[in-house]
Structure 1
Amino acid sequence: MSQNVAFIGLGIMGLPMAKNLVNAGFTVTGFNRSQKAIDDLVAAGGQGASSVAEAVKDADVVITMVPDSPDVEAVVTGEEGVFANAKAGALWVDNSSIRPDVSVHLAEAARAAGLRPLDAPVSGGEAGAIDGVLSIMVGGEPADFEAAQGVLNAVGKTIVLVGPSGSGQTVKAANQLIVAANIQALSEAVVFLEAYGVDTDAAIKVLGGGLAGSKVLDQKAQKILDREFAPGFRLALHNKDMGIVTSAAREAGVVLPLGALVAQLVTSTVASGDGALDHSGLFRGVQRLSGKVEAPVPA
């Protein structure tokens, strides 16, 4: 098991993942744009770095967990990036959610630099990251996947190699399509139930016990009922992911009618000013369409 891990991107998901690696016995060196997150990792037993180059220079495994395709490109390329500064043979595990074509391109560049790339986006939200039970869909070479088992098991529970480089990102795009459609349906159901004065707590309980039950219902229904939209996964990021879904579908020549509609509804909610909210904030978009606008959620 490789012991030295560099973790680039200590956000809502990244910081608890890095802490779980520390708890699993890895030596973790973190870098983030904001110093507070680095300080939090240090307080948990990790180490801090002042740059990407410093973080990765002695790492056996480099993990990146940043918001979007351009962000990944920014931290791995260039003179100060991962590819130029990580030691030959190091594993590069990208837990970010980015475009599959970008992931394939960066994997080729990583191999040319002597690294072993895995695209390994995660699902499970902040709660899954904190509890170390994320679902991780991995693209890359089987030998590299096997070599990364130690770090992956420290942060996830369901960990599956789904194909060559880029495959993990493709599966993550499908995941985000399913999640967004489920949250939209749940939001519409709650608006419908409230319009008829139903005991919504009781309704959610019985719905959860039948075929309508889902992890989305388990994790997001109470947030909707409580109008508590502190971000576990921001709507702005889900909007980005739905753009990946619709773009990749077009390139593949497949039609996603529901996906296209849900993508527009996510964009509408973000455009209305709710991008910083949890993706359960899609509920507010349904409220607007129904003429039941509530006061803005405090930032």
Structure 2
Amino acid sequence: MTDIAFIGLGIMGSPMAVHLANAGHAVAGYNRTPDKTGPLVEAGGRAADSVADAVKDADVVCVMVPDSPDVVDVLTGEDGVFAHAQPGALVIDFSSIRPDVTADLASQARDKGFRYLDAPVSGGEAGAKNAALSIMVGGEGDDFQAARPVFDAVGKTVVHVGPSGSGQTVKAANQLIVAANIQALAEAVVFLEAYGVDTKAALEVLGGGLAGSKVLDQKKENMLARSFEPGFRIELHHKDLGIVTAAAREAGVVIPLGSLVAQLMASAQAVGDGGLDHSGLLRGVERLSGRPSTSDKEN
């Protein structure tokens, strides 16, 4: 059994913390909105009053918050991890943030006597609930091995991809691929519907061929039902594509499709769809095609 602090109990963090508690670890969870601690407490974990309270006895500190400034605040703030965690604690950042910010935080962590891994995840809410996340890990190999019991409790595909910041770089590439796939699926759905095809049947046969993908499997029902309850919000994917395009420019790499999808995601954010699941990109295709979505018609 390991004493674990889990900071950030949102759509992804809550089920991950629950899995760790169910695996027999002593988990103290903290979230800015305290009502999110309920599932962890039901699983035998503890609701902490603050970051400092959560990390005071922790061997491992897990962080799952939305963006780079949030991670910086959780780690370096007056009430933060670096100020209150035990020397030698292993910090695992599951958030998706900028690789350069990660590299700087890893350096600060080492200077303060902590171990640090960047371990962003892919798989969305379903992957988190089913402990089937894909986890791309940057950091020292020994730290990666030490963290395996944590990773194995929440993930299915766990790979050490290189030094600090590498996990975030791989996650940026992941978000580029996922966004492009969602956009292509959205366009295919609108195209099929325009011709009166049995769209559900069409997606079933497409899923069995080269067009098949996890995006198609997991997002087709959202699009068919026009139900966009967030598993991964557009506003977060918009943030991630900003990371991709900035990092690509810094590296001198051209990503024309990535840049286009980033603009389409930004458009969805700008028209107020940021709180929807990223499969809600379908609504943008409908608008561009002059076909208002069902939810738009109801409004």
Same fold (TM over 0.5): yes
1:23 aligns with 2:30: no
Q: What is the DSSP-based 3-state SS (H/G/I as helix, E as strand, rest coil) of the residue aligned with 2:189? A: helix
Deviations 1:11-57 (A, max 9, x none): 00000000000111100000001111123311221101110011001
- Equivalent position amino acid for 1:179 in 2: V
Per-residue deviation at 1:298? 9.3
C-alpha separation between the residues in 1 aligned to 2:233 and 2:85? 31
Q: What is the DSSP-based 3-state SS (H/G/I as helix, E as strand, rest coil) of the residue aligned with 1:198? A: coil
- Equivalent position amino acid for 2:264 in 1: L
Q: Which residue of 1 aligns with 2:146?
A: 147
Q: Which residue of 1 aligns with 2:277?
A: 278
Mapping 1:64-83, distance limit 5 Å: 64-83=63-82
C-alpha separation between the residues in 1 aligned to 2:128 and 2:13? 8
For this pair of structures, how many residues does the alignment match? Answer: 298
With structure 2 as the length reference, what TM-score do the two structures score?
Answer: 0.98
C-alpha contact (below 8 Å) 1:207/1:213 kept by paired residues = yes
Deviations 1:41-96 (A, max 9, x none): 11221101110011001000000000000000010002211011111111000000
1:60 aligns with 2:59: yes
- Equivalent position amino acid for 1:54 in 2: D
1:4 aligns with 2:7: no
Q: % of aligned pairs identical?
A: 69
C-alpha contact (below 8 Å) 2:74/2:81 kept by paired residues = yes
- Structure 2 gaps of 5+ residues are none
Q: What is the DSSP-based 3-state SS (H/G/I as helix, E as strand, rest coil) of the residue aligned with 2:152? A: helix
Per-residue deviation at 1:97? 0.1
C-alpha contact (below 8 Å) 2:18/2:39 kept by paired residues = no
Mapping 1:111-150, distance limit 5 Å: 111-150=110-149
Q: Which residue of 1 aligns with 2:232?
A: 233
- Equivalent position amino acid for 1:207 in 2: L
Deviations 1:230-280 (A, max 9, x none): 000000000000000000001101000000000000000111111000000
Per-residue deviation at 1:297? 9.4
1:222 aligns with 2:221: yes
Q: Which residue of 1 aligns with 2:176?
A: 177
Q: Which residue of 2 aligns with 1:164?
A: 163
Per-residue deviation at 1:113? 1.1
Q: Which residue of 2 aligns with 1:198?
A: 197
Q: Which residue of 2 aligns with 1:244?
A: 243
Compute the RMSD of aligned alpha carbons.
1.2
With structure 1 as the length reference, what TM-score do the two structures score?
Answer: 0.98
C-alpha contact (below 8 Å) 2:91/2:117 kept by paired residues = yes
C-alpha contact (below 8 Å) 1:84/1:113 kept by paired residues = no
Q: What is the DSSP-based 3-state SS (H/G/I as helix, E as strand, rest coil) of the residue aligned with 2:179? A: helix
